[in-house]
């Protein structure tokens, strides 16, 4: 048996892969179920670096007079083009206010009304004002409030800057992970009775994204390789307003506060795409406050008509905030102003902001039920890494931060209950961990003579994904992507690794991240190819209609080691809202059931 | 031919080198590039072994603090063109042990942060279901700026006291203690006072305020430290004049 790996395996009751919003909420939930349960937060970055930190606009929950849980549910379901599981959505909107109030009690600095109550703002696709916000750094404040609160729980142990390479599965249940401690290069098995995947999304599969460098679909790929299906992976959200070149997000709150989208003629072009008529003040579920998929698609149509502008980093349109005035911008959107000044040398108080659609969020993820449980015993998932599904074919802005809390909490409680069953560690786990260590050494650490640079493979993957699996797709392009991703996976076997150091080896982690992204890319393309309809964020030029007969169903894609992935379908759960037309900017919206 | 600029990067691989040494690279002087983009260009196309931390590239995750031409900076918000025609020297943040290349060791801060109890402390514990704690915009303003800290370690790199005395709790941790002390929902000021007063380092802090000068998020840790000193002095006088009041 090889050295230290076998002799000392730290053991915990619940282990979280990822320490962002969902992971930290889950960790606290476990401690609240039973403070004697030992929790491990294993993250490749310090938790406060997690990408939750970049979320800007807000977090939705019904709190004000005149709003109702049914309206939040209806907005979410119609926003998701009827692909959301309605039992999950009902539970989500129901638990959302409690979770948000809990976070308030944990110190999140929510923006307030003059009387001291929590303030809310309008948001895209929402019929009522229900988006809580902490200026325009909501994710940052939520993450730091969760992280700092987590520090008071003695039962939470952290493995900061540990990179997980594999789930340990034996006797049909997950029993831990293998991870590399970046500081020392130590490869270590960490065992646990329950494991929760909270690793976020995978925006870096695409070239142009609001997502941080760490968003590589790690947890999705770990689950996929362990035989757990991924769900609805074809639904990739483009956010309509990212800065060219950097992809930095300009929050939807900028439109909620009254910003206009203008084409090169200064025309509010959304009026041409069945999103309503322009009004001077923002109107809920209309124009600039339409849903993200429809706004991103409208940009592509403007591009086709030659009505976008052209810059060094491609086509763009303008976001106009100038009419809001300095005071509103500085109090409600200070981060937008800071980002524009720092990264574009533009002052939104007096200048137009160049923006374009940019990959932002994965509606799909690890297949879970409403407790956050995956089909693999002991394995749970929450947050963007998971697909419950409450987001369906298109997520509404400000539902994802709330989702972290509601389903992070639920997964934490379910994982705690599972851990309390206290099953013993299987005998084969040590050998499996030793095999993983050997694999890492053989394929990466001790390997020489590789010919394929990481950046080259990554760039080719990103460009085929943008070309084939972007806002508009066709079967021909997706087939091209299918072949290309398979080719890249093959070439990855020859990946070039020059760095054989054990100390903070970021070439090694970049290679491992690329291998995760290639698996995720494969899943996205496969699901997109199989879904021969258009729905929400998945738009097929060759199949432009929604087809409820065949596709009112979730895609489940499963990894097969030496074959193409298998795609199956699971019917969408409909409770009270039968599939209907998505209507924005017109009064015809059907009333939610009473 | 496109314009280029020279970047001198501190390299240190403990398995290979006894001490850090500078290595020069020529990178394109793209007007839209920040120092971090240049480091990524090197890593992707010239030398894959260069190690540094980064993530969000929008100044909020706090990962990419480094020393640029002697000053602590977030490299995602530091443009190459600002330093033209160069060279630009990029080194790890000062006052921290170096793990490798541009990566510093920050576990000391993580322990200090936890030690100041950066969470809401309540004697009572009303259920969230009863509704939010009321907090007016004015009450929010009392602590808001201290809550903007991204833990980037730039203030520690600039702090002359921390440089001399690593026991010093340091600017960011004190600012975050003060963030909770000033929060109208919190009742833990006394507990935090007890923690901060255990170490004398804080009295070594001068009014120079390098921490506040360098903060990329306009937090005022120096102001937090002065607020603490004032409160602690009052406390000291109180215990001196009214020794029975302490318990």
Q: How many CA atoms lie within 13 A of B21 on its CB side?
A: 7
Q: Which of B39, B55, B101, B113 to mutate to test the interface with A (most CBs of A within 10 A)?
A: B55
Mean pLDDT of chain B: 93
**First-to-final CA distance of chain A:** 65
B201 and B221 belong to one structural domain: yes
Question: Which H/E stretch holds residue B66?
Answer: strand B65-68
Tokens of A208: 């142009």
Strands of A338-478, DSSP E: 353-362, 365-367, 379-381, 386-387, 472-473
Residues B87, B111, single domain; the answer is no
* pTM of this structure: 0.96
Q: Assign residue B181 the CATH number of its domain.
A: 1.10.1060.10
Would the CB atoms of B61 and A115 count as touching at under 8 Å? no
CA A109 to CA A141: how far, in whole Å? 7
Q: Enter the ipTM.
A: 0.96
Q: Rounded to the nearest 5 degrees, what angle is found at the Cα of B60, between the Cα atoms of B54 and B62? A: 50
pLDDT band at A6 (very low <50, low <70, confident <90, very high): very low
Instruction: Name the β-bridge partners of A41.
Output: A16, A158
> How crowded is residue A134: how many other Cβ atoms within 10 Å of its Cβ?
24
Check residue A485 and give its pLDDT: 98
- Pick the residue of A506, A508, A509, A510 with the most B CBs within 10 A to test the interface with B by mutation: A506
Do B65 and B111 share a domain, yes or no?
no
Show which of B80, B104, B128 is a domain's final residue. Answer: B104
Q: How far is the alpha carbon of A505 from chain B, nearest alpha carbon, in Å?
A: 7
Q: For residue B241, give how far its alpha carbon lies from the nearest alpha carbon of chain A (Å).
A: 34
Range of the domain at B50: 4-104
Among candidate residues B104, B121, B146, the one where a domain is terminated: B104
* Whether B209 and B128 share a structural domain: yes
Q: Which long-range contacts (CB under 8 A, 24 or more apart) does A564-572 make?
A: A564/A526, A565/A522, A565/A523, A565/A526, A567/A526, A567/A527, A567/A530, A568/A229, A570/A231, A572/A82, A572/A83, A572/A84, A572/A85, A572/A86, A572/A392
The pLDDT value given to residue A2: 38
Residue A588: pLDDT band (50, 70, 90) is low
Domain end among B62, B78, B104: B104
B144 in the same domain as B74? no
CB contact under 8 A, A106 and B114: no
CATH code (residue B75): 3.10.20.30
Contact B132 A454 (CB under 8 A): no
**Domain match, B54 and B11 both:** yes
Antiparallel, parallel or unpaired: β B103-104 and B98-100? antiparallel
Share of chain A above pLDDT 70, in %: 98
The total domain count for chain B is 2
Residues of B in contact with A455 (CB under 8 A): 43-45
Question: What confidence category does residue B1 fall into, taking pLDDT thresholds of 50, 70 and 90?
Answer: very low
CA-based nearest distance B17→chain A, Å: 12
**Cis peptide before B85, with omega less than 30 degrees from 0?**
yes
Closest C-alpha among B88, B108, B195, B118 to residue B159 = B108
Minimal Cβ distance to A503: which of B15, B55, B113: B15
pLDDT score for B246:
46
| Runs of H (alpha helix) within B145-242 | 154-158, 160-164, 171-181, 189-196, 210-214, 221-241
Q: Say whether both B127 and B65 belong to one domain.
A: no
User: Is residue B88 domain-shared with residue B179, that is, in the same domain?
Assistant: no
| Backbone φ and ψ of A325, nearest 5° | 85, 160
DSSP-assigned beta bridge partners for residue A15: A40, A195
In a shared domain, residues B179 and B233: yes
Contact state of B58 with A46 under an 8 Å Cβ cutoff: no
- Which of B62, B119, B140 lies at the smallest CB-CB distance from A48? B62
Average pLDDT value for residue range B126-130: 91
Residue A537 contacts residue A236 (beta carbons within 8 Å): yes
- Taking CB atoms and an 8 Å limit, are B48 and A498 in contact across chains? yes
Please check whether residues B111 and B30 belong to one and the same domain: no
| A389 prior amide bond cis, ω within 30 | yes
Contacts of A250 (CB under 8 A, 6+ apart): A241, A242, A243, A319, A336, A339, A340, A353, A355
Could A455 and B45 be called an inter-chain contact, meaning their C-beta atoms sit closer than 8 Å?
A: yes
| Residue A64 distance to chain B (closest CA, Å) | 12
**Do B119 and B37 reside in the same domain of the chain?**
no
8 Å CB contact between A148 and A105: no
Mean pLDDT of A516-526: 98
How many angstroms separate the CA atoms of B80 and B37, rounded?
A: 9
Active-site residues of A, by number, are 239, 255
State yes or no: pLDDT of A14 exceeds 80. Answer: yes
- Beta-bridge partners for A180: A163, A187
> β-strands A187-197, A353-362: how paired?
unpaired
When CB atoms are compared, the residue of B58, B136, B147 closest to A112 is B136
Lowest-confidence region among A169-173, B172-176, B192-196: B192-196
Both B116 and B74 in one domain: the answer is no
For residue A1, the model assigns a pLDDT of: 33
């Amino acid at each position: 048996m090889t050295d230290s790996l076998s002799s000392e395996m730290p053991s915990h009751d619940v282990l979280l892969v990822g320490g962002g919003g969902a992971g930290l909420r889950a960790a606290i939930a476990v401690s609240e179920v039973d403070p004697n349960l030992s929790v491990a937060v294993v993250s490749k970055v310090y938790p406060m670096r997690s990408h939750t930190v970049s979320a800007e606009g807000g977090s939705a929950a019904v709190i004000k007079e005149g709003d109702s849980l049914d309206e939040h549910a209806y907005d979410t379901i119609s926003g998701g083009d009827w692909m959301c599981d309605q039992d999950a959505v009902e539970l989500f909107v129901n638990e959302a206010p409690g979770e948000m109030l809990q976070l308030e009690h944990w110190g999140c600095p929510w923006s307030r009304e003059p009387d001291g109550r929590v303030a809310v703002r309008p948001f895209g696709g929402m019929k009522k004002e229900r988006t809580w916000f902490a200026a325009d750094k909501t994710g940052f404040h939520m993450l730091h409030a969760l992280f700092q609160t987590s520090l008071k729980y003695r039962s939470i142990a952290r493995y900061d800057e540990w990179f997980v390479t594999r789930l340990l599965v034996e006797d049909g249940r997950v029993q831990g992970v293998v991870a590399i401690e970046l500081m020392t290069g130590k490869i270590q098995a960490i065992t646990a009775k329950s494991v929760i995947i909270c690793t976020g999304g995978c925006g870096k599969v695409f070239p142009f994204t609001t997502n941080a460098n760490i968003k590589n679909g790690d947890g999705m790929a770990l689950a996929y390789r362990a035989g757990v299906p991924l769900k609805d992976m074809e639904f990739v959200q483009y956010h309509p307003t990212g800065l060219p070149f950097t992809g930095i997000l300009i929050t939807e709150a900028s439109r909620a506060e009254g910003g206009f989208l203008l084409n090169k003629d200064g025309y509010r072009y959304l009026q041409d795409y069945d999103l309503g008529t322009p009004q001077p003040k923002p109107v809920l579920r209309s124009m600039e406050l339409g849903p993200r998929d429809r706004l991103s698609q409208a940009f592509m149509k403007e591009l086709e008509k030659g009505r976008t502008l052209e810059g060094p980093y491609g086509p763009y349109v303008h976001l106009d905030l100038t009419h809001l005035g300095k005071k509103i911008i500085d109090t409600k959107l200070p981060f937008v102003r800071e980002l524009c000044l720092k990264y574009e040398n533009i002052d939104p108080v007096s200048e137009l902001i160049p923006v374009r659609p940019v990959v932002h969020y994965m509606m799909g993820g690890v297949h879970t039920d409403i407790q956050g449980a995956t089909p693999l015993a002991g394995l749970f998932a929450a947050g963007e890494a998971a697909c419950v599904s409450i987001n369906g074919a298109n997520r509404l802005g400000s539902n994802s931060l709330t989702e972290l809390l509601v389903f992070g909490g639920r997964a934490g409680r379910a994982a705690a209950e599972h851990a309390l069953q206290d099953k013993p560690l299987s005998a084969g786990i040590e050998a499996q961990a030793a095999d993983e260590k050997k694999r890492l050494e053989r394929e990466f650490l001790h390997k020489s003579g590789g010919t394929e640079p990481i950046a080259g493979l990554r760039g080719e993957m990103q460009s085929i994904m943008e070309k084939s699996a972007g806002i508009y797709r066709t079967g021909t392009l997706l087939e091209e992507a299918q072949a290309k991703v398979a080719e890249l996976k093959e070439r990855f076997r020859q990946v070039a690794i020059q760095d054989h150091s054990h100390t903070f080896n970021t070439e090694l982690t970049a290679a491992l991240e690329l291998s995760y992204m290639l698996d995720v890319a494969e899943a996205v393309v496969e699901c997109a190819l199989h879904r021969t309809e258009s729905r929400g964020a998945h738009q097929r030029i060759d199949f432009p209609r929604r087809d409820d007969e065949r596709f009112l169903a979730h895609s489940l894609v499963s990894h097969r080691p030496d074959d193409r992935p298998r795609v199956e379908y699971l019917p969408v759960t409909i409770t009270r809202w039968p599939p209907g037309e998505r209507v924005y900017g017109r009064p015809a919206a059907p009333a939610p059931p009473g | 031919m496109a314009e280029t600029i020279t970047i001198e990067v501190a390299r240190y691989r403990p398995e290979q080198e006894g001490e850090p040494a500078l290595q020069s690279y020529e990178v394109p002087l793209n007007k839209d590039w920040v120092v971090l983009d240049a480091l990524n260009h090197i890593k992707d196309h010239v030398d894959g072994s260069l190690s540094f931390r980064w993530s969000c590239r929008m100044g909020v995750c706090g990962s990419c603090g480094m020393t640029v031409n002697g000053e602590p900076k977030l490299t995602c918000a530091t443009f190459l063109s600002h330093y033209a025609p160069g060279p630009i020297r990029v080194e790890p943040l000062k006052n921290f042990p170096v793990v490798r290349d541009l990566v510093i060791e920050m576990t000391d801060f993580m322990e200090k942060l936890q030690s100041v109890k950066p969470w809401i402390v309540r004697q009572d514990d009303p259920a969230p279901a009863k509704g939010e704690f009321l907090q007016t915009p004015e009450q929010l303003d009392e602590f808001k700026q201290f809550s903007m800290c991204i833990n980037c370690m730039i203030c520690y790199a600039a702090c002359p006291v921390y440089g001399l005395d690593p026991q010093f709790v340091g600017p960011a941790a004190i600012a975050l203690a003060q963030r909770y002390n000033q929060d109208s929902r919190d009742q833990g000021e006394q507990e935090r006072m007890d923690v901060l007063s255990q170490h004398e380092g804080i009295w070594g802090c001068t009014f120079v305020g390098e921490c506040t000068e360098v903060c990329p998020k306009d937090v005022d840790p120096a102001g937090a430290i002065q607020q603490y000193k004032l409160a602690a002095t009052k406390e000291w006088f109180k215990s001196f004049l009214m020794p029975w009041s302490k318990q």
